[in-house]
């Protein structure tokens, strides 16, 4: 796919991986639209990047995704690249009887239901374009789950399976469907986790190279190593994840 002169919507674009993607794509001459929950951070970014457009939006309220999509349809009819990046990761000990159904649903709403809903709402707009793409950011934990983050792992596995199915359904159209699988990355969400972490800017560069090559699945760094290991020694890959590597 061409990596310049696109109109790009990035969810979770005010920090971490999403922000690194926004910066990298902006430098290549793309029009950037970001969503985020933190108004102070959003305002700072928009002051620093006056060509960007930002919308405050909490994907945990997946029932309001239609409102966001309507705004995008109205204000950005030239949209041709959707990046579902926003994510939520919570440690959930199942033996803890204090776990509420709302807690268990929250990650599925942000990490799975909201991206699927947003794709469904924006797909007609994307199909109008000569060249368009949907990029879903999943996780290595979607393939090798980490018991500390059970719902995060499950939601990313669901998003990965959905991405594969959507790609097949859209074959022969102008819309490519891609999956970016990051390794452990140096973001606020992973600040508490030990181990070597890929910098978001490095991941953004890997993403752009994959976008240029139309990679259906782009496994970055240790995510690619873990994928290969899991195919031949799944118990070993699980042990590595459980040790926090």
Active-site annotation, residues: 152
SS3 of 193, please?
Answer: coil
CB–CB of 117/161 below 8 Å? Answer: no
Nearest to 36 by CA among 7, 65, 14, 8: 14
> Under 8 Å CB-to-CB from 118, ≥6 apart: which residues?
11, 65, 68, 69, 82, 84
Instruction: Please tell me the distance from the alpha carbon of residue 52 to that of residue 195, in angstroms, as a whole number.
Output: 34
In DSSP terms, 53 is beta-bridged to: 33
189 touches 21 (CB < 8 A): no
- Dihedral sign for Cα 18, 135, 179, 65, please: positive
């Amino acid at each position: 796919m061409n990596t310049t002169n696109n109109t790009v919507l990035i969810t979770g674009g005010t920090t971490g991986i999403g922000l690194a993607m926004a910066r990298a794509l902006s430098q290549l001459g793309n029009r950037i639209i970001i969503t985020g929950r933190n108004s102070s951070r959003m305002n700072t970014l928009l002051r620093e990047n006056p060509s960007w457009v930002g919308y405050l939006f909490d994907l945990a309220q997946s029932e309001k995704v239609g409102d966001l999509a309507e705004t995008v349809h109205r204000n950005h009819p030239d949209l041709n690249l959707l990046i579902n990046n926003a994510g939520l990761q919570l440690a959930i000990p199942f033996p803890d009887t204090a776990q509420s159904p709302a807690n268990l649903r929250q990650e599925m709403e942000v990490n799975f239901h909201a991206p699927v809903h947003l794709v469904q709402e924006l797909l007609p707009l994307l199909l109008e374009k000569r060249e368009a793409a949907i990029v879903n950011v999943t996780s290595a934990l979607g393939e090798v789950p980490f018991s500390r983050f059970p719902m995060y792992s499950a939601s990313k596995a669901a998003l990965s399976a959905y991405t594969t199915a959507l790609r097949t359904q859209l074959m022969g159209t102008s819309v490519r469907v891609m999956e970016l699988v990051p390794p452990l990355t140096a973001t606020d969400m992973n600040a508490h986790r030990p181990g070597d972490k890929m910098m978001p800017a490095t991941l953004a560069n890997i993403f752009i190279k994959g976008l240029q090559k139309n990679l259906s699945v782009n496994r970055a760094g240790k995510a690619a190593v873990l994928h290969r290991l899991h195919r031949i020694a799944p118990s070993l890959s699980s042990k590595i994840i459980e040790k926090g590597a």
